[in-house]
Amino acid sequence: MPSPFRRFYDAHCHLQDPRFGQDIGSIVDTCRAQGLVRLVVNGTRESDWDRVSALAAQYPDLVIPSYGLHPWWSRERSPTWLEDLEARLRADPRAGIGETGLDRWMEDPAPADQEDVLLAHLELAVRLHRPLSLHCLRAWGQLDAILRTHPRPTRGFLLHSYGGPPEMVRPLASLGAYFSFAGSFLHPSQAKKLAAFRLVPDDRLLIESDAPDQLLPSELDEFSLTDPQTGHRINHPGNVPAIHRHWPRADPALVESNFLRLFS
């Protein structure tokens, strides 16, 4: 069901993900029909950066490209990854940085190496004045220490799908953080995340799909997609307006203002 507000913004998704298959055109058409006007498409490893670039070239009015090394894949990086990342950013003034960050949930996390990679992204974001999208799982103390002791982008940075402690929301906001709410947080089991988002300042709130991940509860999911390889249900970025409808705090006009402040 289309929303009466016709402009929506997805602060974090992965439209380049092969789980979407070949029919990206119909996904984009659905997004447009639902009123989505910008999708931040985040690369996660060097091997998907070309696909992110291609989507940004094919849909320049819709896709904002972002390039980074996710901690799950950062140990696969090439010796020239940082030079290649900077070259892509300089070639496209729209481009952001990320997804990158810290993850102690994964097996054998190598926290020191993750920190080195994150610091390289952070320095680029500061020097090139680009938006930065951060992932963090079970490493909030380490991330907080890094942000407090190193220069940060003056435009701020995004904590995508924020799942940290509620008591860290305001201190992180004071450092420049924006916080994006994902549809999976509407599951009844996610009460702690809802409590944290009640503390997010109005001017730091964003919405994301994280598609093809972070499925909404099945009864709220308005667009059914299936991974062609596994047959599993996956998330559609066109569900962003549904997140707004089912989480009334996310006023679309407010989110629009916040999105444009960070990503424009």
Give the domain CATH number at 90: 3.20.20.140
Does residue 218 lie within any of the structural domains? yes
Q: Does the residue 30 lie in any domain?
A: yes
Over range 100-109, report the average pLDDT.
86
H-helix or E-strand spanning residue 185: none
Task: Tell me whether residue 230 is in a domain.
Answer: yes
DSSP secondary-structure letter at 203? G
Tokens describing residue 121:
């992204």
Beta-carbon contacts of residue 103 (< 8 Å; ≥ 6 apart): 71, 72, 109, 114, 135, 136, 137, 138, 139
The rounded radius of gyration (Å) of the Cα atoms in the chain is 17
**Range with the lowest mean pLDDT among 12-26, 60-74, 102-116?**
102-116
Closest-CA residue to 255 (of 171, 192, 178): 178
Confidence of residue 157 (pLDDT cuts 50, 70, 90): very high
pTM exceeds 0.85:
yes
Asked if residue 3 is part of any domain, the answer here is no
Question: CA-to-CA distance for 256 and 171, rounded, in angstroms?
Answer: 23
What's the structural domain count of the chain?
1
Domain membership of residue 2 (yes or no) is no
pLDDT, mean over the chain: 95
52: pLDDT strictly greater than 80: yes
What range does the domain containing 233 cover? 8-263
Q: In what order do the strands lie in the sheet with 205-208?
A: 8-13, 36-42, 63-67, 96-103, 132-137, 157-159, 177-182, 205-208
> Is 1 inside any structural domain?
no
